[in-house]
Structures are given as C-alpha cells and as structure tokens.
Amino acid sequence: SIQAFIFDLDGVLTDTAEYHFLAWKALADELGIPFDRHDNEALKGVDRMGSLSFILSKGELELPEEQVLVLADKKNRHYQQLIEHMSPADLFAGAHQLFADLKSRRIAIGLASASKNAPMVLDRLGIADQFDYVADAAKVKQGKPHPEIFLTVADALTIAPQDCVGIEDSLAGLQSIQDAGMHSVGIGDKQVLNGAEQVYAQLHEVDLAEVLALGKPQR
C-alpha cells in the first residue's frame, strides 16, 4: 500500500515552471534561437545544463564550455530575479490540505526536484518543514528522466518504490517515476501526460482516495 508521496516542485506545487520557461525563452531570444512552449515541454524537469544544451543544439550552436557556463549562469540569475518576490500566496491551492491529509494517514512526504533553487523556493512558499526528506539536486548524478532522484528519496524514506507515488508535471519526470517502479500522478494536460496512471489538471483536484487505490491489489 502507498506509504510515501514524492513531489516534484516546479509546476506541481507552484508555478515556477513558467518562470523557468520565461528565463529560457529570454536567453533563446537573445541567441536568436527559436524556442516556444511546445519545445519547453521537453525541457520541463530537465536540469540546467541539459536544458541549455537542448536549446543550443536546437540553434545548431556549438560553444566552448566556458561560454556555455556563462549562459547557464545568466539564465539562473534571471530565474532568481523572477522568484525573488514569491511568497506563501504562490503555493498552489490544495497543497496544504493534501499535506495535512497525507500526515493524518502517516504517509511520508518527499521532494524530488531537479532544481538547485528548490530550497529557496520551499522557503519562500513557507513549506520547507512539510517534507520528511528533500533530495539535494546537486548530488544527483543522472537527472530526470533517469529514476535516480526518485529512488534516492524513496531510499532515504526507507520505503519501497512500489509503495511510493511520484507526482509530476513533466514528461521527463513521469519517465523517471515509471522507471523507478513507482505509481505516477500527473498534474497538467491529460493529452501531454498520457503515461501517468492518474492525471489531474490542477493540484487541488487530486483525489487522495483515488490515488491511494493505485496501491491496492487489483481484483
């Protein structure tokens, strides 16, 4: 049965997926590389350097590593400006209720965000203390879609992957959850996230009983 919920952050608990998009879009525009929301779907959940190399290769731009690092840093500084003003009001509706419902059922709560800015965002949202374990994105060797980050969180919580639910807004993240052998919940567009076992358009629509039923033996 389900004993842990492992959340993604950007696009699941708050709208920072939009800020990542805006910051990448600004950089791509500056480089003269076409980049739109459709391209961005492939980047959701993908780490900073992986995202940048996707954009550069789309523009058929090959740059020395030094310059690539400068661009990555530039995007990150822009992103950090965009999240500077965030507050608890930016937490998606339904998050506190969901945390409370999970706690009352003694279901552990983990975070599997690829973002090195995740601790700052959690602080700004006022939810840093809600998690039993938060993965350190800097220590993850193989980013999403590899299952490492979700498996690391399950391991730290000492809960078997098949007793975990991973909750994601990105295709890369869902792949990561599936390859970790966990149950998957998508937040967003059903057409896009068609690999997830359950998809809800928004976080507040998550039906906990329905999700927990995923962990019950089928009959």
Please report whether residue 8 would count as binding Mg ion according to CB under 5 A.
yes
> Two tokens at 203?
């976080």
Q: Minimum distance between the CB of residue 218 and ligand BG6, rounded to whole angstroms?
A: 32
Per the annotation, does 51 bind a ligand? yes
180 interface partner picked from ligand BG6, Mg ion, none, CB below 5 to 8 A per type: none
Per the annotation, does 63 bind a ligand? no
Among 169, 185, 188, 199, binds Mg ion (CB under 5 A): 169
SS3 199: strand
| Residue 110 neighbours by CB under 8 Å, 6+ apart | 4, 5, 6, 7, 131, 132, 133, 134, 135, 153, 154, 156, 157, 164
Please report whether residue 10 would count as binding Mg ion according to CB under 5 A.
yes
Per the annotation, does 15 bind a ligand? no
Selected range binding Mg ion among 3-11, 50-58, 63-71, 126-134, rule: CB under 5 A: 3-11
Active site residue 189: no
Check if the beta carbon of residue 47 is closer than 8 Å to that of residue 75.
no
Q: Which one from 10, 39, 155, 179 is the annotated catalytic residue?
A: 10
Asked if omega into 145 is within 30° of 0 (cis), the reply is: yes
* Closer residue to Mg ion, CB minimum distance, 144 or 183: 144
To the nearest 10°, report the CA torsion of 42, 26, 59, 41: 10
Per the annotation, does 9 bind a ligand? yes
Active site residue 10: yes
Q: Which residues are catalytic?
A: 8, 10
